């Protein structure tokens, strides 16, 4: 079965950086686009970045990358701001179904 496990969240000061990781299993990772979403308190979940094997789409200051040998997708977040505080989720859309990890909390605060 599809499993997505996020890690790397935590508390960081404004201007700092974090790298999130999402370890995937249960499907042929290299064949699918992978995405990062986030959900801030009281707000709807929003798309942050998507990566295929040939292209990336990113909103804002972040960088998405993938390692098909490790079945892992990353989100590099630099120059973090308090408004980046959210739970960050890994996502794959496979066989007409969305799969989600449990999320990792990023808190940007001084």
| Under-70 pLDDT residues of the chain | none
Those residues whose C-beta lies under 8 Å from the C-beta of residue 69, and which sit 6 or more positions away, are none
Task: Say how far apart CA 22 and CA 11 lie, in whole Å.
Answer: 18
Relative to beta strand 86-94, strand 34-39 is antiparallel
pLDDT at 33: 97
pLDDT in tens, 18-31: 999 999 999 999 99
Chain center to CA of 40: 14
pLDDT in tens, 6-21: 999 999 999 999 999 9
pLDDT at 59: 85
């Amino acid at each position: 079965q599809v499993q997505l496990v996020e890690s790397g969240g935590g508390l960081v000061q404004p201007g700092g950086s974090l790298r999130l990781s999402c370890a995937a299993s249960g499907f042929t990772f290299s064949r699918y686009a992978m995405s990062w979403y986030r959900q801030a308190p009281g707000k709807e979940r929003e798309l942050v970045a998507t990566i295929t094997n040939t292209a990336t789409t990113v909103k804002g200051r972040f960088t998405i990358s993938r390692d098909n040998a490790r079945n892992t997708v990353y989100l590099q977040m630099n120059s973090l701001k308090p408004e980046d505080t959210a739970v960050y989720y890994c996502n794959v859309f496979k066989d007409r179904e969305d799969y989600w990890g449990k999320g990792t909390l990023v808190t940007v605060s001084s």
